[in-house]
């Protein structure tokens, strides 16, 4: 198995998913379905049917898909995120997809804490304090407009830094 091919395939998938999740709040089935099938095919051809091939890929897909399916059932993430993790698991295997999942959930939790800290009331108090200290320094917080529009948090905002973390660790 050539790790360069795997990393390139995963990087392309993540970038496409990130862009579409931010712009349209969706991750398309063509991306996840194609990625899953090509990941299985690649590992099957590169490693055969055994632990380094098709079974490695299938176990990774299951490890990415099944735990996030539970989060989806409780309304925590979208179906596209679930399918994306299954597809990514087909490429990187069960151990790495578990690491990616763990870091993505930690990053999402950190973003959640930040959003709680910077809720509208807190932002108004901070803006008032800033305007007293420096009247020209107050800017509008456009992300509050985003939150009030009813849009949900794009999980890819947590997945992308999680992928970088997994890649940097090793």
Residue 20 has a CB neighbour count (10 Å cut-off) of 17
Report the chain's C-alpha Rg in angstroms.
Answer: 19
Residue 42 has a CB neighbour count (10 Å cut-off) of 20
Per-residue pLDDT of the chain (170 residues; tens, 9 = 90+): 688 999 999 999 999 999 999 888 899 999 999 999 999 999 999 887 777 789 999 999 999 999 999 999 998 889 999 999 999 999 999 999 999 999 999 999 998 888 777 666 665 665 565 555 555 554 544 545 555 555 577 899 999 999 999 999 97
Residue 26 has a CB neighbour count (10 Å cut-off) of 13
Residues with Cβ within 8 Å of 17's Cβ and at least 6 positions away in sequence, in order, are 27, 31, 80, 84, 156, 159
CA distance 6 to 156: 19
Tell me if 57 sits within 8 A of 75, measured CB to CB: no
Q: What share of the chain is helix, strand, coil (3-state, %, to 5)?
A: 80, 0, 20
Whether the full predicted model's pTM is greater than 0.85, yes or no, is no
């Amino acid at each position: 198995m050539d790790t360069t091919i795997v990393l390139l395939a995963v990087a392309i998938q993540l970038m496409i998913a990130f862009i579409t999740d931010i712009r349209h709040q969706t991750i398309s089935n063509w991306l996840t379905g194609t990625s899953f099938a090509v990941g299985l095919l690649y590992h099957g051809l590169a490693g055969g049917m055994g632990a380094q091939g098709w079974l490695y890929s299938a176990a990774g897909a299951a490890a990415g898909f099944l735990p996030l399916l539970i989060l989806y059932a409780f309304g925590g993430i979208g179906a596209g995120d679930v399918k994306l993790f299954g597809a990514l698991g087909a490429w990187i295997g069960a151990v790495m997809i578990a690491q990616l999942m763990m870091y993505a959930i930690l990053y999402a939790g950190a973003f959640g804490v930040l959003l709680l800290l910077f809720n509208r009331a807190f932002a108004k108090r901070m803006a008032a304090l800033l305007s007293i200290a420096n009247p020209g320094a107050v800017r509008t917080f456009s992300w509050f407009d985003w939150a009030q529009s009813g849009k949900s948090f794009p999980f890819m905002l947590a997945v992308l830094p999680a992928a970088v973390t997994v890649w940097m660790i090793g």
